[in-house]
Amino acid sequence: MKHLTKIGTSLLIAGIFLGTQTASAQDDDTLNMALSVDPDGLDPHRTTAASTFQITNNIFDTLVKVTPEGELTEGLATDWEISEDGLTITFNLRDDVEFHNGEAFSADDVLYSFERLKADESPRANDFANITEINVIDDYTIEFVTENLNASLASDFAYPWTAIVLEENEEELRNSPIGTGAYALEAWVPQQNLTLTKNENYFDEVHIDTVEFTMMPDATARTTAMLSGDLDIVGVSGDLVSQFEGNDSFQIIENQSNAVQLMAMNLGNEFLSVPEVREAINLAVDKDLLIESVFWGYGEKIGSHYPPVLLGYEDHSEAYAFNQEEAVAVLEEAGFEAADITLDMYLPSDYQSYVDAGQIIADSLENIGINVNIEVVEWSVWLSDIYTGRDYDLTVVGHTGRLDPYVLLARYHSESSENYFNYNNERIDELLTDVQTELDEDVRYEMFSEIQDTLAEEVPALYIQSPIGLSVTQANVRGYESYPIDIIELKNIYFE
């Protein structure tokens, strides 16, 4: 299988000292978890919410699965083959799979699911517009024909929104889904709780019989429930993780994220279009202090739009090392005096860490004579005016990646609708166009390397960090791992 990404997960056992809390209060047949956001329905084809996919990934299956290391592996498909011209992919399907209601799975279910994904009302319709034909060869063989060459074609079938659903379940899919997955939905009371039960006929090993999710939007409440033994796994923020440190009843798991956080610059601005101004901005900010102050130190410093966990990462984290005196000198050499430059920074109110980071960055820029006006806006306003409308000078935000680096970098193409930087580089356009059709993996990653190098040099953004996620489990929990896409594989979790 093609090795697409390399994800590193560090497991730290907390509690080398005295531990006083209990282990899981539940028996070995039930796993208790918390949800901070309720799923917006359980139809995997009609949502874009990560909270929904973390549930539906366990109710449904996809043709292709992904390992924690980022490798593609079999799912409902036992194997697949791509034609010599790269335009057709053929899947051989498992012949021993049933839906939760006992109905046999076949290629017709795959055909129905992808026709539904390609429909106009699907939020993922554009993702599959390149597929021009879907042909059922026999009950357990199906092929997809594409219009244009896509070097990362196989990985497109691994995301949780490509779940295979049952046609007769369409009317009830949102609230009472029937899948082929390791778990079936037993009950869901929106805003309260959701229960999954083990699929006894699943084609792979499933350890735990029941998974109970409880809605807990408050982070402090989740921490309290974990400490009291009411939960077995919980995500925590850096300011709360200290409550579990030094206690051998818990494991603290650090997960590198397939994501980047940055301060974007609008190169349509007369000042930010000047390379020396962008260079000075990068020199003016102490990223180490920023990561420590805002993210409690849980982040890996970066210098380009590429997370360290992805295969092909180039380390540019020290490209513009913190030096405010040098920043002032760069501005002066470019003909700018103190207070010549005034910039407007818009920050999304729904993300307090981005607001806090923006304020620290603004203070740093004031130190080198760049005036910054801060305005905190609602998320809907940020999406419409800043991201889509490009009506801003500076903003702080994060971007998540996918299995193939192209999706993360494609926004830097001058014609991309997501190029809210207004960045324009003919060589980058050429690389982003060619990398989509390059089938030689070594050549592709050479292209990705050149893109990283160029962005690190021309800095259309202040690249801050790739965040590190934190999870806490009871000490007897095993098999809980992070993935390069936003899923949880409940079937692999067990109690020791």
Spatial contact of 14 and 85, defined as CB atoms under 8 Å apart = no
Q: What are the structure tokens assigned to 239, written together?
A: 């300011």
Asked if residue 346 belongs to a domain, the reply is: yes
Asked if residue 198 belongs to a domain, the reply is: no
- How do residues 185-223 score in pLDDT, each as one tens digit? 999 999 999 999 999 999 999 999 999 999 999 999 999
Asked if residue 416 belongs to a domain, the reply is: yes
Asked if residue 92 belongs to a domain, the reply is: no
| DSSP helix/strand/coil, 16 | coil
Q: What are the structure tokens assigned to 249, written together?
A: 């009843």
What's the CATH number where 398 sits? 3.10.105.10
Q: What is the pLDDT of residue 3?
A: 32
State how far the Cα of 364 lies from the Cα of 375, in Å rounded to an integer: 17
Asked if residue 179 belongs to a domain, the reply is: no
Spatial contact of 477 and 493, defined as CB atoms under 8 Å apart = yes
Let me know if 113 is exposed, middle or buried by CB neighbors in 10 A (0-12, 13-18, 19+): buried
* CA dihedral for 126, 122, 60, 493, sign (positive or negative): positive
Q: What is the pLDDT of residue 374?
A: 98
- How do residues 68-95 score in pLDDT, each as one tens digit? 888 999 999 999 999 999 999 999 999 9
Q: What is the dihedral of CA 491, 492, 495, 496, to 10 degrees?
A: 150
Spatial contact of 58 and 196, defined as CB atoms under 8 Å apart = yes
- pLDDT classification of 427: cutoffs 50, 70, 90: very high
Write down the residue that tokens 């809390």 correspond to.
Answer: 21
State how far the Cα of 464 lies from the Cα of 278, in Å rounded to an integer: 14
| C-alpha to C-alpha distances, 356 to 280, 323, 405, nearest whole angstrom | 21, 21, 29
Write down the residue that tokens 């021009």 correspond to.
Answer: 132
Asked if residue 266 belongs to a domain, the reply is: yes
Mean pLDDT of 308-331: 96
How many domains, the chain? Answer: 1
Instruction: Determine the structural domain holding residue 326 and report its residue range.
Output: 259-469
- How do residues 26-40 score in pLDDT, each as one tens digit? 456 999 999 988 898
Asked if residue 417 belongs to a domain, the reply is: yes
Cα–Cα nearest to 405, from 485, 309, 310, 301: 310
Asked if residue 436 belongs to a domain, the reply is: yes
Does the pLDDT value for residue 23 go beyond 50?
no
Cα–Cα nearest to 10, from 398, 469, 464, 316: 469
- How do residues 358-368 score in pLDDT, each as one tens digit? 999 999 999 99
State how far the Cα of 181 lies from the Cα of 154, in Å rounded to an integer: 20
